[in-house]
Structure 1
């Protein structure tokens, strides 16, 4: 069974990075569609704070550092507290990200133990997906996870090598999770925006970056453009698990090729493709089977 078409009305959405930019635009659309929303971010910009405060309890803010797994693991319990007993999020947006900051970059190499940019851009969407699947399998309900990637998920840039690597990783992860939609009713997709007019490029602290990458309004799309495409990916069965969608000035909505290894084997001339797939997927399916129907109080 696949997730197929859904409506956000009456659903619960979790949005990391929802305090500004693209993800805030999605929060607005989700609330307009009569969803309830948990905004997980370091802070809210004034406009986002005003929206949450005026939402009549349909939106709530959770301070969340997505590079901290304990913060991510606390999200299900925050959903439970915000929206009542048995509440489990249906839609999970892994939106928080950074763009090659000097404090975590390949070029400046100032960190001692790890690249925090990879924790934010790569580990956080993968870990959030695992939390989402555990939560929804435990409640025996479908889920949709949308990862905010980038056109850098499919191209490279000498000026932002670490960022491109981080976004390539989530595109590969999304493709690898295609079967979760078929087997477990858990749809994982990735949107790949190009340059978007957000504080990343327009804020006072972004002047050097904007100049380096020749930022102009003419080459950008708006956060609302991306948020509308995100809404379509989440709600439409035309975008099954594993889908990648480019959203840029050149291609406002263009589906990108997404092929998972098992599908390649099934389409090949291999003598026993079905046996190969069954053997390869068996351990994964066993884990999901154990987690399905194991209800929790929202605390992990």
Structure 2
């Protein structure tokens, strides 16, 4: 079934920068209003809000963008984000739980929480948390699950309207702050690395919303210059451009040497 985003209303987390900002911009250009949920906004996102202002009571059908500061690891803040979206717009038709982090040192496996035996860890995760929790899992896994539950509850209460949910997994190299500003990832970059642009990923995400070729449950693999529908079973591994950093193995070798010489403290 075809689905046009024109005249619809989307909720996109992580649209303060990167891929999700590119997706929000594309939606607005296509006539779809957007609620942005993120912990902050980069200049490009601030400009988008100025370009597509939301005016209460405006019945012109012009697309608009709003921002609601949201830490997606917090369920109360996700509830607040949802309430903001549904109060500002007639409905939420498209949901993209796009906010994500990629193995930052402050919430990664090789940097356990601070303890008496591990006092210098850069981790922000609490060793005394009850229940125990890792921010990386809360952002990348739990937040999409909870936001999807809120979306389904909303949609099943509004009969017979076409809706769309688009998610993303991070694996391809993209020119986003996640890759260009993290010191560890900068150290892995080489001139030969082949990065894709956020706009290419955003175009693929829009296809998942609108193109009838991609049905429910489609896993669409995006590499630089190529798309592939990943089969349900016996999928071949990803191939193509923009899949690996030239300096990745060097960083892994340094990690192994660190573990050999200093052990692992948790």
Paired residues, number: 207
- Which ranges of 4 or more aligned residues in structure 1 deviate by more than 6 Å? none
Residues 183-207 of structure 1 deviation map (CA, whole Å, 9 limit, x = unaligned): xxxxxxxxxxx1111111112xx13
Q: Give me the whole-angstrom Cα distance separating, in 1, the residues matched to 2:163 and 2:190.
A: 36
Q: Give me the whole-angstrom Cα distance separating, in 1, the residues matched to 2:18 and 2:154.
A: 27
Structure 2 alignment gaps of length 5 or more: 55-63, 114-124, 234-266
User: Aligned-residue CA RMSD in angstroms?
Assistant: 1.5
Match 2:177 to one of 199, 213, 218: 199
| 1:255 maps to 2:252 | no
| 1:89 maps to 2:64 | no
- Post-superposition shift, 1:31? 0.4
Give the structure with higher Rg (CA): 2
Please give the secondary structure, in 2, of the residue aligned with 1:14.
Answer: strand
- Post-superposition shift, 1:23? 0.3
| 1:55 maps to 2:52 | yes
| 1:131 maps to 2:105 | no
Contact 2:102–2:170 at 8 Å: present in 1 too?
A: no
- TM-score norm. by structure 1 comes to 0.66
Corresponding residue number in structure 2 for 1:115: 134
Is the alpha carbon distance of 1:257 and 1:21 closer, same or farther for their aligned partners in structure 2, counting shifts above 3 Å?
same
Is the alpha carbon distance of 1:36 and 1:106 closer, same or farther for their aligned partners in structure 2, counting shifts above 3 Å?
same
Q: Give me the whole-angstrom Cα distance separating, in 1, the residues matched to 2:10 and 2:165.
A: 10
Please give the secondary structure, in 2, of the residue aligned with 1:10.
Answer: coil
Q: Give me the whole-angstrom Cα distance separating, in 1, the residues matched to 2:192 and 2:23.
A: 21
Corresponding residue number in structure 2 for 1:208: 184
Residues 108-150 of structure 1 deviation map (CA, whole Å, 9 limit, x = unaligned): 1113221110000000111111111111111123321111113
Structure 1 alignment gaps of length 5 or more: 152-193, 260-300
- Post-superposition shift, 1:50? 1.4
- TM-score norm. by structure 2 comes to 0.74
Match 1:10 to one of 7, 10, 14: 7
- Post-superposition shift, 1:81? 2.3
Q: Give me the whole-angstrom Cα distance separating, in 2, the residues matched to 1:98 and 1:227.
A: 18
- Post-superposition shift, 1:54? 2.1
Corresponding residue number in structure 2 for 1:238: 213
Contact 1:76–1:88 at 8 Å: present in 2 too?
A: no
Corresponding residue number in structure 1 for 2:109: 106
Please give the secondary structure, in 1, of the residue aligned with 2:107.
Answer: coil
Please give the secondary structure, in 2, of the residue aligned with 1:114.
Answer: coil
Contact 2:14–2:100 at 8 Å: present in 1 too?
A: yes
